[in-house]
């Protein structure tokens, strides 16, 4: 295991009715900017719960954060913070609202062009404090320091990470997730699953505890994911999915081990150029990477097959690997996320542009061994189009 320093400062309020904690979690003398998305929180009662809990606070609102939050929209919110002398921000929504808020709290204090935070990973010396009320379990953004922002005019979807943008707290009430459309439930489970796989499906790193944490989260997502399809109003199922998604990317399981972020990096390009949902891209790319890198990932693929999918230990290694990939595809498809690009009636014609964009974004050495070149990324895209269970 490699050396690491781990510090996660986000306080979690988990469970039914925890939105009421906002009244004490935010000091009364704070001027609060409430940031949300397209209005789902007004339809499902979350907005009413939040404003009731903050009835003693001075609140200003900013709505309209898009899925895959848009840079230009974030800049408007950052300007509002400056004009209104806001000193605390509350994000209420899914990963997009939380990611947008992370960028906004940094951009509001940034000296210079805020685009540099994303394009040049410019250092952030100051950011406003913020908290979250999560309504969509998926990204882990509620307990990590990452954010992904899109700039549609430039076909860019770029991430930044900074310790100054950890949420001060996050409220996770599973009851807020009952109103999620099936597509978003599926997206959330696939996203969380892939977050774990990117830490886990690398090579043996003498980190059995991280492996077993990862296998526990994967198994939980498989079991609870299947239950939520038929029993969507089951509180315990929703609660288990929510906590699993947070742990999938609060970086606990990635301490001391090398990760493979290739699925996300190629996936972000598919969102930028084809407009697919984040998790739709991951369901396509991960199985292709499993196929394409099956020799280098062999040991972990076998471990994954045996421990997560209970594949018979007596079958050959090749069969274990094939079953591991087939079962992963089948799980994503059962959840409602196709594993082929052609399922979306999209053609190959943007592959060359996507590869150029990866180069332009400096993503030329992906994977745990930094050996996935743009040429490999092109081959990975070719594996998922047309669809095939094994190559």
Residue ranges binding ligand NZQ (CB under 6 A): 37-41, 44, 67-68, 93-97, 99, 135-136, 138-141, 144, 146-148, 176-177, 179-180, 184, 187-188, 191, 249, 264, 278
Taking the least distance from each CB to Zn ion, the nearer of 191 and 211 is 191
The torsion of the CA quartet 339, 344, 350, 356, rounded to 10 degrees, works out to -40
Q: Which of ligand NZQ, Zn ion, none is residue 174 near (CB under 5 to 8 Å by kind)?
A: none
CB 136 to ligand NZQ: min, Å = 4
CB of 59 to ligand NZQ, least distance (A): 18
Of 178-197, binders to Zn ion (CB under 5 A) are: 191
Whether omega for the bond prior to residue 386 falls within 30 degrees of 0, making it cis, is: yes
Beta bridge partners of 133: 92, 171
The minimum distance between CB 236 and Zn ion, in angstroms, equals 24
Sheet arrangement for strand 130-134: 11-14, 169-172, 130-134, 88-93, 31-36, 58-62
Q: How far apart, in whole angstroms, are the C-alpha atoms of residue 100 and residue 68?
A: 9
The listed partner (ligand NZQ, Zn ion, none) that binds 49, CB under 5 to 8 Å by sort, is none
In whole angstroms, the minimum distance from the beta carbon of 147 to ligand NZQ comes to 5
Which partner from the list ligand NZQ, Zn ion, none does 386 bind, CB cut-off 5 to 8 Å by kind? none
CB 337 within 8 A of CB 283: yes
Radius of gyration of the chain (CA): 21
Beta carbons within 8 Å of 232's beta carbon, 6+ residues apart: 178, 185
- Kindly state the smallest distance separating residue 75's Cβ from ligand NZQ, in Å: 17
Give the nearest residue (CB) to Zn ion: 191
Closer of 94 and 114 to ligand NZQ (Cβ): 94
Q: Are 159 and 267 in contact (CB under 8 A)?
A: no
Instruction: Rank residues 264 and 320 by Cβ distance to ligand NZQ and give the closer one.
Output: 264
The set of long-range contacts for 370-374, using a CB threshold of 8 Å and a minimum separation of 24, is 371/296, 372/262, 372/293
Min dist. Cβ of residue 105 to ligand NZQ (A)? 13
Q: Where are the beta strands (DSSP E) in the chain?
A: 11-14, 31-36, 58-62, 88-93, 130-134, 146-151, 156-161, 169-172
Of residues 286 and 321, the one with the C-beta less far from ligand NZQ: 286
> Residue 291 binds which entry of Zn ion, ligand NZQ, none, with Cβ cut-offs from 5 to 8 Å by kind?
none
Q: Which two tokens stand for residue 76?
A: 């408007």
Pick between residue 188 and residue 311 the one whose CB is nearest to ligand NZQ. Answer: 188
Judged by the rule CB under 5 A, the positions of this chain that interact with Zn ion are 191
């Amino acid at each position: 295991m490699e050396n690491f320093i781990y510090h996660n400062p986000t306080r979690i309020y988990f469970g039914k009715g925890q939105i009421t904690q906002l009244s004490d979690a935010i000091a009364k003398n704070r001027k609060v900017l409430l940031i949300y998305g397209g209005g789902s929180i007004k339809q499902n009662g979350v907005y009413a719960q939040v404003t009731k809990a903050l009835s003693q606070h001075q609140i200003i609102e900013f709505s309209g954060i898009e899925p895959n939050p848009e840079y230009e929209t974030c800049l408007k919110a950052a300007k509002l913070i400056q004009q209104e002398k806001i000193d605390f921000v509350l994000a209420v929504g899914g990963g997009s609202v939380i990611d947008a808020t992370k960028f906004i709290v940094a951009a509001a204090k940034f000296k210079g062009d805020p685009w540099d935070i994303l394009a040049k990973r410019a250092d952030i010396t100051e950011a406003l404090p913020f908290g979250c009320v999560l309504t969509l379990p998926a990204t882990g953004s509620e307990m990590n320091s990452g954010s992904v922002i899109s700039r549609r005019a430039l076909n860019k979807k770029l991430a930044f990470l900074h310790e100054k943008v950890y949420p001060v707290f996050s409220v996770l009430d599973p009851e807020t997730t009952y109103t999620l459309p099936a597509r978003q439930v599926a997206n959330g489970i696939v996203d969380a699953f892939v977050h774990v796989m990117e830490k886990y499906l690398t090579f043996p790193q003498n980190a059995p505890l991280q492996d077993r944490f990862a296998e526990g989260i994967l198994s939980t997502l498989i079991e609870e994911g299947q239950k939520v399809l038929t029993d969507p109003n089951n509180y315990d199922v929703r609660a288990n999915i929510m906590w699993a998604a947070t742990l999938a990317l609060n970086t606990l399981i990635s301490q001391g081990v090398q990760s493979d972020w290739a699925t996300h990096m190629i996936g972000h390009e598919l969102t930028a150029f084809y407009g697919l949902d984040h998790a739709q891209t991951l369901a396509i790319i991960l199985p292709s990477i499993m196929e394409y890198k099956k020799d280098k990932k062999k040991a972990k693929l076998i471990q994954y097959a045996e421990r997560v999918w209970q594949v018979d230990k007596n079958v050959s290694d090749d069969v274990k690997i094939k079953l591991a990939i087939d079962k992963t595809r089948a799980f994503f498809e059962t959840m409602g996320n196709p594993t082929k690009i052609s399922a979306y009636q999209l053609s190959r014609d943007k592959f060359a542009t996507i590869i150029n964009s990866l180069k332009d974004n400096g993503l030329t050495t992906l994977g745990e061994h930094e050996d996935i070149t743009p040429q490999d990324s092109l081959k990975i895209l070719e594996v998922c189009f047309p669809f095939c269970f094994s190559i």
